[in-house]
Amino acid sequence: MVDTFGLCWLGDSTTITQISLLHMLILCGTELLVIVSICDFTGHMVDGWKKDTEFIMNFFKENVEEVDSAIQHTDCFFMVPQACKKLEQFFVHTSLVLSAFMVESISFPYF
């Protein structure tokens, strides 16, 4: 399936009752949506940091490389514009779709 359709990554951050979460999902053809990772980065925020693009980009990069180590199946990303711009340097052959609204509408039912 992945050879035919590739992988489409979705990601977004949210704060639920003072807990900051960053979540990452994968779509692949007709398969069900897969939750790859949910990161509680409340400690990152408490230490004076914010939801910065560098933190989000590193989180994505690590997870993508773990699932698709040769980066042969990753086709596109749907995520916030700032993080997409940072990811361009690592995933030059992918489509970087700058859409926060779509990610939230797809992932919201899972939380």
The pLDDT tens digits for 86-103 are 777 777 777 766 554 444
Structural domains of the chain in order of their starting residue, each with its CATH number:
2-110 (3.30.420.60)
Alpha-helix residue ranges (DSSP H) falling in 28-99: 42-46, 53-67, 81-87
86's tokens: 């940072």
Question: pLDDT at residue 111 above 50?
Answer: no
Strands 95-98 and 7-16: unpaired
The pLDDT tens digits for 63-88 are 889 998 888 888 887 776 666 777 77
Q: In degrees, to the nearest 5, what angle opens at C-alpha 35 toward C-alphas 33 and 41? A: 145
Cα-trace Rg, the chain: 14
